[in-house]
Structure 1
């Protein structure tokens, strides 16, 4: 009887070792075919440009092509839902932004995915906005704008690209932190809002740096500050909102990489290493900064998850306190 138990143990141990060997071999052989990168926003937009730029470098490091697929619609939720339902084998990944994982869960009553139904991989980059005012407005600093808004509650208008969009939330969080109120005027994109700002029909707008700066330098708009935690290399002369009278204020759009839930940890770690290295390649970093996008500091998948959790909590609070809804 004793020898029988020993024999069974040896057979089961051998099977376990075989399974472990097969698993290790599978992990070591990944990737052995092209990887699909889902981008839940339209081709040509900022997220698409970031995805294609980083994917090109990551492809060369992995030795397999990364094919970018745009699955846009419903504020990025359609593409995110498709990525969430993919097999967790490392051959489908999602490059997305704050919109799908930190903002949409607080705006939509239902989503085609659970924000927790993903494997966090890497925080890749951040994009701050620029706080613009129409040149005729008697405000040459953040503090002067706050003072003016305090004197004229709801009389100043601020534009956005629509209810619940990042430009809307960036301004809403600014107003909440400053304790003042303005009237929100949503547009179909920031372009029409910027045109109305230049014409003097709108007083305030939070826009992307590459879009807003040419109008600032031509004198058609006035820049007061950038919304990120640090000054931008594109406009180092501009202070941050935080150093201009609102300590602690920061609003950026982050870009990050996810896999479906259940993605093997070794693959997640490998993707983290490859994409972090890719985004910090000198030529990639330069091209990102030319777009007003700053590569994120290297961090683990867990650190990325913790950052998104804190960002989601912050946006949820702003959305609730400012009574922001999708109309």
Structure 2
């Protein structure tokens, strides 16, 4: 069966020369140095497969960036291991800003507390900027003919240990939310990790999968029924859907993310990256795509993003402790 949640990318290397930087600055207030721009351009790695929210956002972001850079960035998907594969590869790329990840912060916020992985050290990365936040949603196959979360919990108790719940892989936010839901509801379910979002949706539609923790705006509500928004308040996409907070479930684990570069990238290059991504995030087409997918566009500079990652990591550590989970 599949495994993970959101898509990755990578980029080509290019050296940053003083002369190139001057030419780049002349081309645009947001331009990268000319040497990088004239190599293979900026490469944006999406840590999840095609069809996911991260993939759709990354590709719209690349289009928006093309309005502020000498040439359009290249988007590459690098899905696997709940997004950590993309981060592991970024750690081996040149520290020159030519390759970045656009994705959720989960590999740096959640993963270190669940599994000790020598290939993933948060110190190997520099947060460039936060760009988004997104709630999750509990969905079920319409073949179950359930009306609400109470019906789902009743069915899960009646068929103890038999219902199949999908998520996007170990240490993903969807995995943690599933564990929290099952613990709070007092039910036992079969966890099914997915690598490809499309397969998870297909299995829900066919009835091979009973329920899942997923991202909003990426499925046909005619065959897949959303039951609960995992958030503190409603969003425009599902204004009438009950929230986890209103139903008495634990505080939601926010899916937030943005752009990451390799540690060692110069402050000057990080600043240029942040300015370019901020400008792109304000483009109307990018904003429209975010709204359609139920994503909140929230920009924060590198320092603010780093603080958020640290704060949420501590909160996740406490949550996992309450769930009885420890690093392995």
TM value normalised by structure 1:
0.74
Verify the 8 A CA contact 2:139 2:225 in the aligned structure 1. Answer: yes
TM-superposed CA distance for 1:138, in Å, is: 9.3
Q: Which structure has the bigger radius of gyration?
A: 1
Unpaired runs of at least 5, structure 2: 1-17, 27-31
1:180 is aligned, of 186, 189, 200, to: 186
Q: 1:151-194, CA deviations, whole angstroms, 9 ceiling, x for partnerless residues? A: 76955735014651443222213344x36333233154566666
Taking a change above 3 Å as real, the CA distance of residues 68 and 181 of structure 1, as seen in their structure-2 partners, is same
Distance 1:211 1:313 in 2: 30
1:122-168 superposed Cα distances (whole Å, 9 cap, x missing partner): 1111232222346687975556766x489769557350146514432
Q: Which residue of 2 aligns with 1:63?
A: 70
Q: How does 1:21-36 map to 2 (within 5 A)?
A: 28=25, 30-32=32-34, 33=37, 34-36=41-43
Q: Does 1:49 align with 2:41?
A: no
Note if contact 2:45-2:75 (Cα within 8 Å) is conserved in structure 1: yes
Aligned position for 1:15: none
Pick aligned residue for 2:229 from 226, 229, 232: 226
How many angstroms does 1:324 deviate by? 7.8
Report the counterpart of residue 264 of structure 1 in structure 2.
Answer: 266
Deviation of residue 113 (structure 1)?
3.5
- In structure 2, the CA distance between the partners of 1:225 and 1:28, relative to structure 1 (3 Å rule), is same
User: Is 2:99–2:261's contact at 8 Å kept on the other side of the alignment?
Assistant: yes
d(CA) in 1 for partners of 2:60 and 2:174?
Answer: 24
- Spell out, residue by residue over 1:219-260, the C-alpha distance to the aligned partner (whole angstroms, 9 max, x if none): x554332113432222212132113334x6223432310111
Counterpart check, 1:238 vs 2:245 = no
The reply to whether residue 118 of structure 1 matches residue 125 of structure 2 is yes
Match among 256, 275, 278 for residue 277 of structure 2: 275
In 1, the alpha carbon distance for the partners of 2:209 and 2:314 equals 30
Tell whether the 8 Å contact from 1:50 to 1:288 is kept in structure 2 after alignment: yes
The 8 Å contact of residues 49 and 197 in structure 2, kept in 1 or not, is answered as no
For structure 1, the residue ranges without an aligned partner over 5 or more in a row are 1-20
Per the alignment, in what secondary structure is the counterpart of residue 243 of structure 1? Answer: coil
**Residue of structure 2 equivalent to 1:18:** none
Which residue is 1:130 aligned to? 137
CA distance change for structure 1 residues 224 and 114 in 2, over 3 Å: closer, same or farther?
Answer: same
Alpha-carbon shift at residue 262 of structure 1 (Å): 2.4
- Does the 8 Å CA contact 1:88/1:261 hold for their aligned counterparts? yes
Distance 1:149 1:276, change over 3 A: farther
> In 1, are the aligned partners of 2:156 and 2:189 still within 8 Å (CA)?
no
Aligned with 1:244: secondary structure? coil
Query: Cα RMSD between the aligned structures?
Result: 3.7
Residue 104 of structure 2 is aligned with which of 93, 97, 101? 97
2:9 corresponds to = none
Which has the larger displacement, 43-52 or 182-191? 182-191
Count the aligned residue pairs: 298
| C-alpha separation in 1, matches of 2:205 and 2:72 | 44
Counterpart in the other structure of 1:40: 47
